[in-house]
A and B are shown apart, each in its own frame.
Chain A
Amino acid sequence: MENEEIEKVASMASIDLTEEEKQKLEGDMENILDWFSRLDEIDTEDVDPAFQPIEIKNEMREDKVEKCLEREKALENTKNKEDGFFKGPSTG
């Protein structure tokens, strides 16, 4: 994996990486992806993907209103709040 590619993935994953981290990851990823390539040999023609390990289907909830979280509780884990709103970084 090239440095450029690591940077692309890191930006997609929204993580700042130091130069050192990038270099280390390049090597790690190389090894790991190489190891993954052994799956290529497995014939999966006509095999359906297993979404979950067991077959579960059609689980749905009735359209009923339930109790909400009190606003104080919703906001209690952050200092970044203002007038009942959560505060976040700009979208610019």
Chain B
Amino acid sequence: MVSSRDRAPGDILKYSGMSVSEFMKKDVDIEDFYGKLKNRLKKMEKMGYIRPVDYNISEKGKLGGLPFTLKDSICSKNDPTYAGSKILEGYKPPFDATVAKKIKEAGGVIFAKTHQDEFAFGTASTNCAFTTPKNPWDTERCCGGSSGGAAGLSVALDLPHINLGESTGGSISEPVSFTGAVGLTPTYGTVSRYGLISFANSLDKIGPITRSVEDAAIGLDIISGKDPMDQTTVDTEGNYAKDLDGDLKDTKIGIPEGYFKISGEGVSETVKEAVKVLEDLGADIQKVELEMTEAALPAYYIIAPAEASTNLAKYCGMRYGMEEDPEGSFREYFSKIRGKGFGDEVKRRVILGTYTRMAGYRDKYYLKALKVRKKIINDFKSAFKEVDVLAAPTAPIVAPCIDEIEGMSPVEQYKLDKLTAPINLAGMPQISVPCGFHRDMPVGLHLMGDHFQEKNIIKVGHRYEKERGSIKYPEV
């Protein structure tokens, strides 16, 4: 960690370290800027973060040409969008996701899709059919998942930009904690999912991945709002980036001790130090008991695959994506294409999700998990009667090595979601802010809030970040 923004001298780095709000305020030579951006793309591609798309440089709107990336599961018109899967290779959506439309209308430029686990099934981005993004701090290590490409890019690309990730069970928070980025997962229903290739519709949330809390808040302002194209969206006030500054004197922060116990010691200690910083800033720190923590992960791994297995039924070698001559009966043809097109983890979750909603098991697994989810929501709701924000480690460990992940059993891998699954099941907002290092790898401070109380977590995150000072990011 360093104390101030080191700007390297010379022309080539004049945009380096510039924040999104600075970009929007300053008079940027857009041609020059995109020239620099273009020079960096090859490297970013090589690191496994992005698949560049054709874009037109523009300077219009309030964003003035601010660059954006979309997770590979977010559709943008005529841009290759594969959701990390071979079965969608070559697919070009004929329409824009609502978030893509909003970015374009505000004058943003979508320059790439970021790599992810296939259909977002993963915690390390090692399940991507195309590439595995490498951690910018240590290329042996993973970027986390499933929005791994976006989490890696926001740290590795030293130019102002906003990445849109997507979280179902922690796929924004977990990877950003592994790469030292900031990830804001809004309340379910705050951002339209129209044009998001679904993983699990009752859990999926699109959110910004950036270098700072303020940039993330700006990102959320651009993409949030009720959308007639998604009937699960709700009216929110927006203005997340307004009045960020504020003291923590009246802020009550709850500490779920169980979350610290689950985490490795190094991570736990690092986050405790961050909590101490918050306390010194005047926050009222209280211990909080969350009874349902242990139940969340199994419930999540029932609900998410159950929904996912129906969402993925449409990929069958017709209309788009992987296809062959449609010979023989549909049963054989569909099974063949799906057998070829899906990766191992996708097959596992489709089988799992199909099983838990079968006639004899539906009540035992699927319905039971939905009821457990209700209890988890109630659990958080009662905690938020006492406190404004919950603070805990985002992930129990720092980014593991890629080959370590590959040696893990499915359940071991699933457990990387242990701290993020509960709040995601509850559909409550969360932000992960880097708060130090353990074994030279970044650690994330997870700030969680009640439904639609994004302002609270943004305020605490932003205040913490100011106190922490800027980070010296690795050069990629």
Contacts and interface: CB of A to CB of B under 8 A. Distances in A.
**Which of A25, A32, A74 has the most chain B CB within a 10 Å cutoff?**
A32
A35 B351 CA distance: 16
A27 to B, nearest CB: 9
Contacts of B86: none
Chain A interface extent, by class: 35 or more
Given A14-B335, A50-B370, A53-B425, A91 B329 contact: yes
Contacts of A6: 351
Interface in B201-255: 202-203, 228, 231-232, 234
B5 interface: no
Interface stretch (B16-24, B292-300, B454-462): B292-300
Nearest to A34: B411
How many B residues are at the interface, by size bracket? 35 or more
A88 B318 contact: yes
A13 B309 contact: yes
B348 A25 contact: yes
A91 B321 CA distance: 21
A12 B371 CA distance: 25
A28 interface: yes
Contacts of A80: 318-319, 323, 325-326
A39 B295 contact: yes
A38 B298 CA distance: 8
Contacts of B347: 15, 17, 21, 25
B354 A16 contact: no
Contact of A76 (B94, B302, B409, B426): B94
Contacts of A36: 298, 301-302, 356, 365
A44 to B, nearest CB: 4
Nearest to B95: A69
Interface string B341-369: 01010011011101110100000010111
A77 B321 contact: yes
B372 interface: yes
Contacts of B107: none
A20 B164 CA distance: 37
A49 B371 contact: yes
A75 B347 CA distance: 28
Given A36-B298, A89-B330, A47 B375 contact: yes
B372 A42 contact: yes
Interface of B: 90-92, 94-95, 187-189, 202-203, 228, 231-232, 234, 292, 294-295, 298-299, 301-302, 309, 313, 316-321, 323, 325-336, 338-340, 342, 344, 347-348, 350-352, 354-356, 358, 365, 367-375, 377, 409-411, 425-428, 451
Interface of A: 1, 6, 9-18, 21, 25, 28-29, 31-33, 35-36, 38-40, 42, 44, 47-54, 56, 59-61, 69, 73-74, 76-80, 86-92
